[in-house]
């Protein structure tokens, strides 16, 4: 984590489209000289030239808090930069954005300020590691006010930053984890809602935000040896993934899969009549090298020789069940 005052640049390239199609235009009977993005049926604004693409850039100087996760439990990490499958990138982006907006919520509580005093986001950048420079992801908070209001520099004080991360612990009285894990929210909120991560200003990210992923990301940021799984309870509180995972056998049954479960091991799902098609249930942040994935794959091979199950996680199954047919 580090904090500094710097220039924050935001580019709007129309969702990766290279920008917006501007044209030289005349408005009513004006002389021209204006440019606009217009539709073909606009009656008052007439194009006078060919379209050209422009991305929009805004720049401001303010206080910034950059947060990277220094260490991950073995087999646990979000793939937000490169992945074998696009679906893994979706999970990675969801994890990082949920992490960033969790930090903003917790910061607003700690500072006792309105949430809109801060902006949150993620960026990809090169970071130095023992293996050399690699592309990685960082979350950031910025003060909304030009030249900064001092919030991010206050959050960068080690004990204040620790208090921010403590909001991921159910033992933190009135912390975000303590508020989000009681039964009412636990059973009703399958991804995110306006009681946890959603609010008006992060509307473009609502489809990605997931409070369970956010809590797991912050738990790892607070303690790289944290247990990240679908079953181990968090102290006196239920592991928040359990109510979601309770629905998985019924969903997979409808997709034509039978459940194979063994105590203490990841669940397997085999296609009826075609058992080489199979899935191993995993946590959204687990990767192929997670020990329990490898153990489950070995079990699948023993049960059905030649079977190499794919990875099935509740985050993707609930959003894109067709991927698991």
**C-alpha–C-alpha distance, residues 284 and 319, integer Å:** 12
Which region, judged by CB under 5 A, interacts with Zn ion, from 145-153, 161-169, 193-201, 268-276? 193-201
Residue 193 interacting with Zn ion (CB under 5 A): yes
Closer residue to Zn ion in complex, CB, 196/220? 196
Closer residue to Zn ion in complex, CB, 238/265? 238
Which region, judged by CB under 5 A, interacts with Zn ion, from 111-119, 132-140, 147-155, 194-202? 194-202
Residues 6 or more apart in contact with residue 322 via CB below 8 angstroms: none
Residue 317 interacting with Zn ion (CB under 5 A): no
Residue 304 interacting with Zn ion (CB under 5 A): no
Q: Minimal distance in Å, beta carbon 26 to Zn ion?
A: 49
Closer residue to Zn ion in complex, CB, 195/272? 195
Q: Minimal distance in Å, beta carbon 243 to Zn ion?
A: 12
Tokens coding 90: 């979706």
Residue 189 interacting with Zn ion (CB under 5 A): yes
Which region, judged by CB under 5 A, interacts with Zn ion, from 35-43, 90-98, 183-191, 312-320? 183-191
Which region, judged by CB under 5 A, interacts with Zn ion, from 21-29, 68-76, 87-95, 189-197? 189-197
Q: Minimal distance in Å, beta carbon 265 to Zn ion?
A: 30
**C-alpha–C-alpha distance, residues 197 and 210, integer Å:** 7
Q: Minimal distance in Å, beta carbon 87 to Zn ion?
A: 23
Q: Minimal distance in Å, beta carbon 10 to Zn ion?
A: 27
Question: Count residues contacting Zn ion (CB under 5 A)?
Answer: 4
Residue 214 interacting with Zn ion (CB under 5 A): no
- The correct pick among 94, 155, 196, 226 for binding Zn ion (CB under 5 A) is 196
The residues binding Zn ion (CB under 5 A) are 189, 193, 195-196
């Amino acid at each position: 984590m580090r904090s500094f005052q710097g220039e924050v640049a935001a580019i709007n390239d129309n969702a990766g489209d290279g920008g917006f199609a501007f044209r030289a235009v005349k408005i009513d009977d004006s002389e021209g000289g204006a440019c606009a993005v217009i539709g073909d049926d606009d009656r008052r604004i007439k194009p006078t030239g060919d379209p050209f693409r422009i991305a929009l850039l805004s720049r401001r100087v303010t206080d910034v808090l950059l947060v990277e996760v220094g260490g991950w439990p073995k087999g646990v990490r979000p793939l937000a930069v490169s992945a074998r499958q696009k679906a893994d990138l979706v999970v990675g982006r969801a994890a990082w954005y949920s992490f960033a907006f969790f930090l903003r919520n917790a910061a607003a509580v700690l500072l006792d300020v309105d949430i809109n005093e801060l902006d949150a986001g993620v960026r990809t950048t090169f970071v130095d590691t023992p293996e050399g420079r690699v592309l990685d992801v960082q979350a950031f908070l910025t003060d909304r006010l030009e030249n900064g209001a001092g919030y991010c520099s206050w959050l960068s004080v080690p004990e204040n930053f620790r208090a921010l991360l403590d909001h991921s612990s159910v033992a933190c009285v009135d912390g975000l984890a303590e508020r989000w894990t009681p039964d009412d929210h636990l059973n009703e909120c399958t991804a995110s809602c306006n009681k946890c991560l959603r609010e008006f200003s992060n509307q473009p990210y609502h489809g990605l935000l997931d409070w369970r992923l956010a809590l797991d990301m912050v738990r790892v940021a607070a303690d790289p040896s944290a247990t990240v799984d679908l079953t181990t309870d968090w102290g006196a509180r239920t592991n928040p993934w359990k109510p979601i995972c309770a629905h998985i056998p019924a969903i997979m049954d409808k997709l034509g899969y039978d459940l194979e479960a063994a105590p203490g091991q990841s669940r397997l799902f085999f296609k009826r009549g075609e058992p080489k098609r199979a899935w191993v249930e995993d946590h959204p942040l687990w990767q192929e090298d997670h020990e329990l994935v490898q153990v489950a794959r070995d079990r699948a091979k023993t049960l059905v020789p030649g079977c190499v199950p794919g990875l099935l996680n509740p985050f993707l199954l609930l959003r894109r069940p067709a991927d698991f047919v």
